[in-house]
Amino acid sequence: MSEAVEQAPRFSVNVQYVKDLSFEHPMAPRTFTINEAPQIGVNIGTQAQRVSDDLFEVVLRVLVEAKHGEENAFVADLHYAGLFTLQNIPEEHVEPLLLVEAPRLLFPFARRIIADVTRDGGVPPLMLDPIDFVAQYQRSKEAAAGTA
């Protein structure tokens, strides 16, 4: 193998998996008699941790809370993860790859799981809007700089 191939940057997904998933529908069966749509809040976060020298776990958390007034209609909480290999990546690019690109790759799968679990929970499938992970990353960097 040539030295150029050995030194080429590598960013790859090894495996994706559901790390944790819960769905609660505490208002059932009352929710089926309410004619107005619940207020739905979606919170998406990402975490990354080193597993070994060039292996990282990235967890995309999707928390969906639907409320009628102050009462929870349903809650879906998904931790969807992937193991990523990063080799020959400059250090300044590691964090953006793990907190922007990795979640961007995981998101379509997490979106489908949320749609399926809400549908299977008896409510219309929730189709999450696309997420701008670059903007989310920039906001978290700004917030961290503001608290420093």
Which token pair is 43? 């919170």
- Rounded CA-CA distance 103/140 in Å is 14
Residue pLDDT, tens place only, 61-72: 999 999 999 999
Tell me the β-bridge partners of 56. Answer: 50, 84
Is the model's pLDDT at 148 over the cut of 70? no
Peptide bond between residue 29 and the one before it cis (omega within 30 degrees of 0): yes
Confidence class of residue 6 from pLDDT cuts 50, 70 and 90?
low
Q: In terms of Cα–Cα distance, which of 68, 63, 64 is closest to 31?
A: 68
Average pLDDT of the chain is 93
Give the model confidence (pLDDT) of 28-62 as tens digits.
998 888 889 899 999 999 999 999 999 999 999 99
What percentage of the chain carries pLDDT values higher than 90? 82
Residue 78 neighbours by CB under 8 Å, 6+ apart: 18, 20, 21, 60, 61, 62, 63, 110, 113, 114, 117
| CATH code matching the domain that covers 16-137, chosen among 3.10.420.10, 3.40.50.880, 3.50.50.60, 3.80.10.10 | 3.10.420.10
| C-alpha radius of gyration, the chain, whole number | 19
Would the pLDDT of 132 be above 70? yes
Backbone angles phi, psi at 46, to 5 degrees: -130, 145
Section 100-112 average pLDDT: 98
